Protein backbone atom coordinates (compact mmCIF):
# COMPACT_ATOMS: atom_id res chain seq x y z
CA UNK A 1 0.00 0.00 0.00
CA UNK A 2 1.55 3.32 -1.01
CA UNK A 3 2.11 6.05 1.56
CA UNK A 4 -0.28 8.56 -0.03
CA UNK A 5 -3.18 6.10 -0.13
CA UNK A 6 -2.45 4.99 3.42
CA UNK A 7 -2.52 8.60 4.64
CA UNK A 8 -5.76 9.30 2.76
CA UNK A 9 -7.43 6.25 4.28
CA UNK A 10 -6.38 7.19 7.81
CA UNK A 11 -7.47 10.79 7.28
CA UNK A 12 -10.95 9.60 6.27
CA UNK A 13 -11.21 7.45 9.39
CA UNK A 14 -10.10 10.28 11.66
CA UNK A 15 -12.60 12.64 10.07
CA UNK A 16 -15.45 10.16 10.57
CA UNK A 17 -14.42 9.57 14.19
CA UNK A 18 -13.74 13.29 14.79
CA UNK A 19 -10.21 12.63 16.04
CA UNK A 20 -7.02 14.68 15.64
CA UNK A 21 -3.86 13.56 13.87
CA UNK A 22 -2.06 10.96 16.06
CA UNK A 23 1.41 9.52 16.39
CA UNK A 24 1.70 6.23 14.49
CA UNK A 25 3.52 3.01 15.41
CA UNK A 26 3.64 -0.02 13.10
CA UNK A 27 2.59 -3.28 14.78
CA UNK A 28 2.49 -5.63 11.79
CA UNK A 29 2.58 -4.91 8.06
CA UNK A 30 2.50 -7.19 5.03
CA UNK A 31 1.56 -6.85 1.37
CA UNK A 32 -2.20 -7.24 1.82
CA UNK A 33 -2.85 -5.70 5.23
CA UNK A 34 -1.33 -3.83 8.13
CA UNK A 35 -1.88 -2.88 11.76
CA UNK A 36 -0.72 0.29 13.54
CA UNK A 37 -1.21 1.70 17.03
CA UNK A 38 -2.27 5.35 17.11
CA UNK A 39 -1.60 7.63 20.08
CA UNK A 40 -3.56 10.87 20.24
CA UNK A 41 -2.56 14.14 21.95
CA UNK A 42 -4.90 13.44 24.87
CA UNK A 43 -3.07 10.18 25.60
CA UNK A 44 -5.79 7.86 24.29
CA UNK A 45 -4.97 5.17 21.74
CA UNK A 46 -6.65 3.24 18.93
CA UNK A 47 -5.73 0.60 16.38
CA UNK A 48 -5.56 1.43 12.67
CA UNK A 49 -6.03 -1.69 10.56
CA UNK A 50 -6.13 -1.73 6.77
CA UNK A 51 -6.52 -4.48 4.18
CA UNK A 52 -7.45 -5.13 0.57
CA UNK A 53 -9.49 -7.92 -1.00
CA UNK A 54 -10.27 -10.58 0.06
CA UNK A 55 -9.87 -9.14 3.59
CA UNK A 56 -11.95 -6.02 2.99
CA UNK A 57 -15.16 -6.92 4.84
CA UNK A 58 -13.83 -7.38 8.35
CA UNK A 59 -15.59 -4.24 9.61
CA UNK A 60 -18.94 -5.79 8.68
CA UNK A 61 -18.08 -9.09 10.38
CA UNK A 62 -16.87 -7.35 13.56
CA UNK A 63 -19.96 -5.15 13.81
CA UNK A 64 -22.22 -8.13 13.21
CA UNK A 65 -20.40 -10.25 15.80
CA UNK A 66 -20.67 -7.41 18.32
CA UNK A 67 -24.39 -7.01 17.66
CA UNK A 68 -24.89 -10.74 18.23
CA UNK A 69 -23.00 -10.73 21.52
CA UNK A 70 -19.55 -12.02 20.57
CA UNK A 71 -16.77 -10.22 22.51
CA UNK A 72 -14.77 -8.37 19.82
CA UNK A 73 -12.92 -5.04 19.58
CA UNK A 74 -15.26 -2.11 18.92
CA UNK A 75 -15.15 -0.57 15.43
CA UNK A 76 -14.96 3.22 15.91
CA UNK A 77 -15.05 3.97 12.18
CA UNK A 78 -14.40 2.30 8.82
CA UNK A 79 -13.95 3.48 5.24
CA UNK A 80 -13.01 2.24 1.77
CA UNK A 81 -10.50 4.06 -0.45
CA UNK A 82 -9.51 2.68 -3.85
CA UNK A 83 -10.27 -0.92 -2.86
CA UNK A 84 -8.63 -0.75 0.57
CA UNK A 85 -10.60 -1.10 3.80
CA UNK A 86 -9.51 0.98 6.75
CA UNK A 87 -10.74 0.54 10.33
CA UNK A 88 -10.24 2.50 13.50
CA UNK A 89 -10.56 -0.09 16.27
CA UNK A 90 -10.63 -0.18 20.04
CA UNK A 91 -7.12 -0.67 21.44
CA UNK A 92 -7.29 -3.59 23.86
CA UNK A 93 -3.83 -2.90 25.25
CA UNK A 94 -1.30 -5.52 26.25
CA UNK A 95 -2.55 -9.03 26.97
CA UNK A 96 -2.17 -10.21 30.57
CA UNK A 97 -1.25 -13.69 29.38
CA UNK A 98 -1.36 -15.96 26.35
CA UNK A 99 -4.57 -17.82 25.59
CA UNK A 100 -4.52 -21.55 26.41
CA UNK A 101 -6.67 -24.44 25.21
CA UNK A 102 -9.27 -23.91 27.93
CA UNK A 103 -9.63 -20.28 26.83
CA UNK A 104 -9.96 -21.40 23.23
CA UNK A 105 -12.61 -23.99 24.03
CA UNK A 106 -14.63 -21.50 26.10
CA UNK A 107 -14.44 -18.84 23.39
CA UNK A 108 -15.49 -21.36 20.74
CA UNK A 109 -18.56 -22.27 22.80
CA UNK A 110 -19.65 -18.62 22.74
CA UNK A 111 -18.90 -18.16 19.04
CA UNK A 112 -20.58 -21.38 17.93
CA UNK A 113 -23.73 -20.62 19.94
CA UNK A 114 -24.10 -17.29 18.15
CA UNK A 115 -26.98 -16.97 15.72
CA UNK A 116 -26.03 -17.64 12.10
CA UNK A 117 -25.53 -14.47 10.07
CA UNK A 118 -27.05 -14.46 6.59
CA UNK A 119 -24.43 -12.06 5.22
CA UNK A 120 -21.47 -14.38 5.85
CA UNK A 121 -20.15 -16.68 3.07
CA UNK A 122 -21.31 -20.30 3.48
CA UNK A 123 -19.19 -23.46 3.41
CA UNK A 124 -21.74 -26.29 3.48
CA UNK A 125 -21.31 -29.87 2.26
CA UNK A 126 -21.70 -28.96 -1.41
CA UNK A 127 -19.13 -26.20 -1.15
CA UNK A 128 -16.79 -28.44 0.85
CA UNK A 129 -17.11 -31.21 -1.72
CA UNK A 130 -16.04 -28.86 -4.53
CA UNK A 131 -12.87 -27.57 -2.81
CA UNK A 132 -10.53 -30.02 -4.60
CA UNK A 133 -12.15 -29.35 -7.98
CA UNK A 134 -11.88 -25.59 -7.38
CA UNK A 135 -8.20 -26.08 -6.53
CA UNK A 136 -7.81 -27.96 -9.82
CA UNK A 137 -9.33 -24.98 -11.62
CA UNK A 138 -6.75 -22.71 -10.02
CA UNK A 139 -4.06 -25.21 -11.05
CA UNK A 140 -5.28 -25.07 -14.64
CA UNK A 141 -5.05 -21.28 -14.69
CA UNK A 142 -1.55 -21.44 -13.22
CA UNK A 143 -0.49 -23.90 -15.92
CA UNK A 144 -2.04 -21.70 -18.62
CA UNK A 145 0.14 -18.89 -17.28
CA UNK A 146 3.13 -21.25 -17.64
CA UNK A 147 3.57 -21.57 -13.90
CA UNK A 148 3.72 -24.59 -11.55
CA UNK A 149 5.12 -26.64 -14.47
CA UNK A 150 6.90 -29.12 -12.19
CA UNK A 151 3.90 -29.79 -9.95
CA UNK A 152 2.22 -32.78 -11.61
CA UNK A 153 2.07 -34.43 -8.19
CA UNK A 154 -0.17 -31.60 -6.95
CA UNK A 155 -2.61 -32.23 -9.78
CA UNK A 156 -2.60 -35.97 -9.10
CA UNK A 157 -3.28 -35.55 -5.39
CA UNK A 158 -6.14 -33.13 -6.04
CA UNK A 159 -7.71 -35.55 -8.50
CA UNK A 160 -7.59 -38.36 -5.91
CA UNK A 161 -9.18 -36.14 -3.27
CA UNK A 162 -11.85 -34.94 -5.71
CA UNK A 163 -12.88 -38.53 -6.39
CA UNK A 164 -13.33 -39.21 -2.67
CA UNK A 165 -14.87 -35.83 -1.82
CA UNK A 166 -18.51 -36.87 -2.13
CA UNK A 167 -18.23 -39.50 0.58
CA UNK A 168 -15.70 -37.74 2.79
CA UNK A 169 -17.60 -34.41 2.87
CA UNK A 170 -20.64 -36.02 4.55
CA UNK A 171 -21.43 -34.53 7.94
CA UNK A 172 -20.30 -31.01 7.08
CA UNK A 173 -23.45 -29.49 8.57
CA UNK A 174 -23.46 -31.59 11.74
CA UNK A 175 -23.29 -29.32 14.81
CA UNK A 176 -21.46 -27.15 15.52
CA UNK A 177 -22.37 -25.52 12.20
CA UNK A 178 -22.55 -21.74 12.03
CA UNK A 179 -20.01 -19.00 12.76
CA UNK A 180 -16.44 -20.05 11.89
CA UNK A 181 -13.69 -17.63 12.85
CA UNK A 182 -11.30 -19.32 10.36
CA UNK A 183 -8.11 -17.87 11.90
CA UNK A 184 -8.80 -19.32 15.33
CA UNK A 185 -5.52 -19.67 17.21
CA UNK A 186 -4.05 -18.37 20.49
CA UNK A 187 -2.84 -15.07 19.00
CA UNK A 188 -6.38 -14.28 17.79
CA UNK A 189 -7.75 -14.54 21.33
CA UNK A 190 -6.80 -11.52 23.44
CA UNK A 191 -6.87 -12.09 27.20
CA UNK A 192 -6.92 -8.67 28.85
CA UNK A 193 -7.80 -7.09 32.18
CA UNK A 194 -11.41 -6.71 31.05
CA UNK A 195 -11.76 -10.33 29.87
CA UNK A 196 -11.30 -11.87 26.45
CA UNK A 197 -11.89 -10.60 22.93
CA UNK A 198 -11.72 -12.39 19.59
CA UNK A 199 -9.62 -10.63 16.93
CA UNK A 200 -9.12 -11.02 13.17
CA UNK A 201 -12.53 -11.71 11.65
CA UNK A 202 -11.42 -10.94 8.09
CA UNK A 203 -12.25 -14.43 6.82
CA UNK A 204 -15.21 -15.37 9.04
CA UNK A 205 -17.84 -17.56 7.39
CA UNK A 206 -20.72 -19.92 8.11
CA UNK A 207 -19.57 -23.52 8.11
CA UNK A 208 -18.29 -26.46 10.18
CA UNK A 209 -17.23 -25.18 13.59
CA UNK A 210 -14.67 -27.99 13.79
CA UNK A 211 -12.50 -25.94 11.41
CA UNK A 212 -11.79 -23.53 14.27
CA UNK A 213 -10.33 -26.34 16.37
CA UNK A 214 -8.35 -27.66 13.40
CA UNK A 215 -6.65 -24.27 13.10
CA UNK A 216 -5.97 -23.72 16.83
CA UNK A 217 -2.62 -25.54 16.89
CA UNK A 218 -1.46 -23.98 13.62
CA UNK A 219 -0.61 -25.61 10.31
CA UNK A 220 3.18 -25.64 10.40
CA UNK A 221 3.56 -28.84 12.41
CA UNK A 222 2.34 -32.31 11.48
CA UNK A 223 -1.40 -32.54 12.26
CA UNK A 224 -2.03 -34.32 15.56
CA UNK A 225 -5.51 -35.94 15.75
CA UNK A 226 -4.97 -37.09 19.34
CA UNK A 227 -4.17 -33.57 20.48
CA UNK A 228 -7.20 -32.22 18.62
CA UNK A 229 -9.44 -34.85 20.23
CA UNK A 230 -8.39 -33.58 23.66
CA UNK A 231 -9.36 -30.04 22.60
CA UNK A 232 -12.74 -31.27 21.33
CA UNK A 233 -13.35 -33.07 24.63
CA UNK A 234 -12.53 -29.83 26.48
CA UNK A 235 -14.96 -27.95 24.25
CA UNK A 236 -17.78 -30.35 25.10
CA UNK A 237 -16.92 -30.17 28.80
CA UNK A 238 -17.11 -26.36 28.60
CA UNK A 239 -20.63 -26.53 27.15
CA UNK A 240 -20.08 -27.17 23.46
CA UNK A 241 -22.38 -29.55 21.62
CA UNK A 242 -21.56 -33.28 22.10
CA UNK A 243 -22.14 -33.66 18.34
CA UNK A 244 -18.65 -32.20 17.91
CA UNK A 245 -17.34 -35.68 18.76
CA UNK A 246 -19.41 -37.74 16.30
CA UNK A 247 -17.98 -39.35 13.19
CA UNK A 248 -18.54 -37.66 9.84
CA UNK A 249 -17.65 -38.76 6.34
CA UNK A 250 -16.77 -42.18 7.74
CA UNK A 251 -13.97 -40.70 9.85
CA UNK A 252 -13.44 -39.69 13.48
CA UNK A 253 -14.33 -36.02 13.97
CA UNK A 254 -10.73 -34.97 14.59
CA UNK A 255 -9.37 -36.58 11.39
CA UNK A 256 -12.26 -35.19 9.34
CA UNK A 257 -11.69 -31.69 10.74
CA UNK A 258 -7.93 -31.68 10.19
CA UNK A 259 -8.18 -33.19 6.71
CA UNK A 260 -10.83 -30.85 5.38
CA UNK A 261 -9.27 -27.81 7.06
CA UNK A 262 -6.01 -28.56 5.24
CA UNK A 263 -7.92 -28.99 1.97
CA UNK A 264 -9.60 -25.64 2.58
CA UNK A 265 -6.14 -24.11 3.12
CA UNK A 266 -4.83 -25.68 -0.10
CA UNK A 267 -7.63 -24.14 -2.17
CA UNK A 268 -7.01 -20.79 -0.48
CA UNK A 269 -3.24 -20.90 -1.12
CA UNK A 270 -3.79 -21.73 -4.78
CA UNK A 271 -6.36 -18.96 -5.23
CA UNK A 272 -3.92 -16.53 -3.60
CA UNK A 273 -1.18 -17.68 -5.94
CA UNK A 274 -3.15 -17.03 -9.14
CA UNK A 275 -5.55 -14.28 -8.04
CA UNK A 276 -4.79 -12.20 -4.95
CA UNK A 277 -0.99 -12.25 -4.93
CA UNK A 278 -0.36 -13.46 -8.51
CA UNK A 279 3.41 -13.16 -8.32
CA UNK A 280 5.43 -15.96 -9.95
CA UNK A 281 8.31 -15.19 -7.57
CA UNK A 282 6.20 -16.60 -4.72
CA UNK A 283 5.45 -19.89 -6.53
CA UNK A 284 8.15 -22.01 -4.82
CA UNK A 285 6.83 -21.10 -1.36
CA UNK A 286 3.21 -21.73 -2.34
CA UNK A 287 4.01 -25.04 -4.03
CA UNK A 288 5.93 -26.20 -0.95
CA UNK A 289 3.01 -25.33 1.35
CA UNK A 290 0.44 -26.94 -0.95
CA UNK A 291 2.46 -30.16 -1.25
CA UNK A 292 2.84 -30.39 2.52
CA UNK A 293 -0.87 -29.86 3.14
CA UNK A 294 -1.92 -32.27 0.39
CA UNK A 295 0.24 -34.99 1.94
CA UNK A 296 -1.64 -34.41 5.19
CA UNK A 297 -5.04 -34.40 3.44
CA UNK A 298 -4.40 -37.73 1.71
CA UNK A 299 -3.39 -39.28 5.03
CA UNK A 300 -6.08 -37.75 7.25
CA UNK A 301 -9.01 -38.33 4.87
CA UNK A 302 -7.65 -41.81 4.04
CA UNK A 303 -7.84 -41.17 0.30
Do the beta carbons of residue 35 and residue 27 sit within 8 Å?
yes
Q: What is the pLDDT of residues 154-207, one digit of tens each?
A: 999 999 999 999 999 999 999 999 999 999 999 999 999 989 999 999 999 999
**CA angle at 280 for the pair 275 and 281, rounded to the nearest 5°:** 125
CA-based end-to-end distance of the chain: 42
Q: Would you kindly state where each structural domain of the chain is located, as residue ranges?
A: 3-89, 101-300
pTM: 0.94
Asked whether the CA dihedral 155, 158, 163, 166 is positive or negative, the reply is: negative
Considering the domain 101-300 in this protein, what is its CATH number? 3.90.1200.10
Considering the domain 3-89 in this protein, what is its CATH number? 3.30.200.20
Q: What is the pLDDT of residues 64-108, one digit of tens each?
A: 999 999 999 999 999 999 999 999 999 999 999 999 999 999 999
Amino acid sequence: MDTTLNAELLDNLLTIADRSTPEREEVRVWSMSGVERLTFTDGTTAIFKYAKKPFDREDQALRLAHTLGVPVPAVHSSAMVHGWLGMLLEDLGAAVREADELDGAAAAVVLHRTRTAATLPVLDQERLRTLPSRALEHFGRLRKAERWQDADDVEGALERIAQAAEARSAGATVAPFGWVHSEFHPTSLHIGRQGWRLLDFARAFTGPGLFDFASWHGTLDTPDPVRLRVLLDTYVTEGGTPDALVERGGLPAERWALGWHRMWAVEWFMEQSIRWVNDPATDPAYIKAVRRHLTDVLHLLEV
